[in-house]
Amino acid sequence: MAGRKWVKGLLAVVLALAMIFAPQAAMPASAAKSLSQLQKEQADLKKKQAEVAARLKTLKADKAQKQQYKAALDTQASTVQSQIDVLNQQINTLDADISQKESQIADKQKNIDANYEQLKQRLRALYLTGEASNLEVILSAKNVVDLADKTEAIQAITTHDTNLINTLKSDMDSIKAQKSEIETNRKSVAEARVALDTKQGELTSLVNETKAVIAEISQNESSANQENAKLAEQRKKADAAIDQWYKDYYASQKGTGGSGGYVSKGNFGWPLPGVTNITSGYGYRWGSLHKGIDISSAGVYGKPIVAADSGKVMMAGWGNYGTGYGGYGNVVAIDHGGGYSTLYGHCSSVAVSKGQTVKKGQVIAYVGNTGDSQGAHLHFEIRVNGVAKNPLNWFSR
């Protein structure tokens, strides 16, 4: 009797140890991170992509404005260059006029010097004749003819002296006026050169500003595009990680009844009866994969959505970021068994609950515009072992 008790006790210990050390099948061994961590990374990247996309849109608008600003700068620079050209012409004209007037002054100065020398000789001659006056010359005339000759000679000498003095005076006044004009022109040249320097500085500033505008546009666009490409690559890896997680998950769920015991053969029914218009197809857009199709038409809001196949509801309700359903709004996801699952997003409301078993064609939700949605539509996905596939592969249109 004691021996039997001892054997029973030994069996109990063995069974307990077996339960403790038995292999666990709930989570895939290949998943280095939990699904929630992967989904949170995916959601964060999607949010960052949206921010970069918005920034790129702003940059495009900003680029258009800056291109207009650059065009205005170019026009202004052209105007300033024209002003500089005019100032240079003015300076050249003034310099030429100054040179011409200085040459004229030099010629007149020669005439003045010659006439002045002639006048000095005339005065010297008068001085050497002593105190002889015009009256003495006239009284010394021998006869009337000699008197006429002497009178005419005196008048000629007097006229010559007067003309010589007047010429000297006129030339000196002309030189004085020309020198005044030269000084005025020199002042104008100096002012024009100051204005020229100012305009040259203004032109340099405009050119530098234009270059800076173009450099800023290029740098901002390049930076945003690089960031967008980097995020797209990270998003691609994050999507792949989640796809792999689902693949491993479905592999681990074989024979466990995760779909309520139903095993799908992939014979799916259309999820939105009476509405077949596809507004956005499956595939890459804006640097990421659109993992389903969008179905919509006029008056689609509130129409019933049906299960594409039988199975068990994996998710029903509002999809929060970090859960794998962020951005879908009100969403339903169904495990159909056989590695198949479907997802129905942006619903106005859901008609089932998580864990509920549903039949193919059963109403599960209603079309809406919730989550990251631009207008009422149904976002429909089909996954095989967790990897999103083009739903149209299962339908003929």
Residue 36: its pLDDT value, please? 66
**Quick one: 93 exposed, middle or buried, by C-beta within 10 A (0-12, 13-18, 19+)?**
middle
How far apart (Å, rounded) are the C-alpha atoms in residues 370 and 386?
24
Residues of the chain with CATH 2.70.70.10: 260-394
For residue 66 the two structure tokens come to 């800056």
Provide CB contacts within 8 A for 98, sequence distance 6+: 182, 185, 186, 189
- Tell me the H-state helices in the chain: 2-21, 35-128, 134-139, 144-252
The pLDDT assigned to 14 comes to 37
3-class DSSP state of 120:
helix
Domain with CATH 1.10.287 in the chain: 51-228
Q: What is the pLDDT of residue 367?
A: 96
pLDDT tens, per residue, the chain with 397 residues:
444 443 344 334 334 434 433 333 334 433 456 666 776 777 777 777 777 777 777 776 776 776 776 676 677 667 767 767 776 777 777 777 777 867 777 776 777 677 667 666 665 665 555 545 555 655 565 555 555 555 565 566 667 667 766 776 776 777 777 777 777 877 877 777 787 778 777 777 877 877 777 777 777 777 877 887 887 777 777 777 777 777 776 777 666 555 667 889 999 999 999 999 999 899 887 667 888 999 999 999 999 999 999 999 989 999 887 777 888 899 999 999 888 999 999 999 999 999 999 999 999 999 999 988 889 999 999 999 888 899 999 997 5
pLDDT at 15: 40
What is the structure's pLDDT at 9? 46
Tell how far CA 397 is from the center of its chain.
43
Alpha-carbon span 232 to 60, nearest angstrom:
19
CB 171 within 8 A of CB 77: no
Written out in words, the top-level CATH class of the domain with range 51-228 is mainly alpha
Neighbouring C-beta atoms of residue 157, cutoff 10 Å: 14
| Interatomic CA distance for residues 335 and 260, integer angstroms | 8
pLDDT of residue 62: 72
Dihedral angle of Cα 349, 352, 353, 358, to the nearest 10 degrees: -150
**Which tokens sit at 159?**
């006229």
Within 10 A of 75 (CB to CB), how many other CB atoms are there? 11
Q: How far apart are CA 311 and CA 356, in angstroms?
A: 9
SS3 call for 330: strand
Contact 309, 269 (CB under 8 A): yes
CA distances from 103 to 73, 97, 178, 188 (A): 45, 10, 11, 20
CATH 1.20.120.80: does it fit domain 260-394? Answer: no
Spatial distance between the Cα atoms of 240 and 248, rounded to a whole number of angstroms: 12
pLDDT at 3: 45
